[in-house]
Amino acid sequence: MVLDRTAADTCCAPGPQLTLPSQVGEQALCCAPLSQMPLSAEQAEQVAPLLKALADPVRLRLMSLIASHDGGEACVCDLTDAFDLSQPTISHHLKVLHEAGLLAREKRGVWVYYRAQAAALASLGLLIGSR
């Protein structure tokens, strides 16, 4: 999500800024797109887990399946058939994505539903690809 000028002044360097999720329970990260200003060591440390979470082929497919699913959310029960993996393994990958701040989750009865954090994905895209 691109912040307005006022928010950018309170958060980091001048110019267009992005907020990225940090690991669950930590503050969100704020930084400029890579093409506009180099990341600080601290910012790179905070961005790396987001990219690492997506770097796994199973997790990348899970993000794609969830984000493109009807209604923008999916139950674990909707995801397991797409993989030749056990349900606990799928749940582990979903947990990694959730803890990185890329998925929201909600328990409904015995099932857990996941929704892609669209703003987080858009911010990552802008961080990497903005000019």
Distance CA 21, CA 43 (A): 12
Per-residue pLDDT tens digits for 108-127: 999 999 999 988 888 788 77
Stretch (H or E) spanning 19: strand 18-20
From the list 11, 12, 46, 13, the residue with the least C-alpha distance to 124 is 46
Q: Percent of the chain scored above 70 by pLDDT?
A: 74
Report whether pLDDT(7) > 80.
no
Q: How do residues 28-65 score in pLDDT, each as one tens digit?
A: 556 667 777 787 888 788 788 888 999 999 999 999 99
Q: What is the DSSP letter of 15?
A: S
CA dist 131 and 128 (Å) reads: 9
With a cut of 70, say whether residue 86 has pLDDT above it. yes
Q: Can you list the domains of the chain with their CATH numbers? A: 5-129 (1.10.10.10)
Count Cβ atoms below 10 Å from residue 37 Cβ, excluding itself: 16
